[in-house]
């Protein structure tokens, strides 16, 4: 067992489960980030293709395209804010679990 594993052995089952859930959340956020990057790359590629072939979407007026872009930007800003909040809560929760675990270990060693 590594030193990190030894530290987690002393955690309660609920703390271990919480950390496992946070790890799952972190993995899902990383996957979401990769998907967003992939979508952005596809959009950039499509823009490059459109500009090189001089293709435009004839069915959308300039105003409709601008409105669509503004809506998308608004949604992305909202998503960014939400992800930032989730990340902050994630970090603070893990920190609190680790600090509480150290405090409990300190109390146990003082009583022995």
Domain locations along the chain: 19-111
CA 44 from chain centre, in angstroms, equals: 22
Question: pLDDT by residue (tens digit) across 5-64?
Answer: 555 568 888 888 989 998 998 999 889 888 888 888 888 888 777 766 654 555 567 777
In this prediction, residue 38 carries a pLDDT of 87
CA distance linking residue 26 with residue 21, whole number of Å: 9
CA distances from 94 to 19, 29, 97 (A): 7, 16, 5
Question: pLDDT by residue (tens digit) across 83-103?
Answer: 999 999 999 988 888 888 776
CA 88 from chain centre, in angstroms, equals: 10
Helical axes 13-53 vs 62-111, angle rounded to 10°: 160
């Amino acid at each position: 067992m590594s030193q990190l594993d030894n530290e987690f052995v002393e955690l309660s089952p609920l703390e271990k489960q919480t950390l496992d859930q946070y790890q799952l959340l972190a993995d899902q956020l990383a996957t979401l980030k990769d998907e967003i990057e992939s979508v952005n790359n596809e959009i950039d590629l499509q823009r490059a293709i459109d500009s090189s072939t001089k293709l435009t979407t004839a069915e959308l007026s300039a105003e409709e395209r601008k409105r669509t872009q503004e809506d998308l930007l608004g949604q992305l800003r909202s998503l960014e804010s939400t992800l930032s909040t989730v990340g902050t809560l994630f970090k603070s929760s893990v920190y609190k679990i680790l600090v509480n675990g150290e405090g409990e270990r300190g109390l146990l060693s003082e009583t022995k």
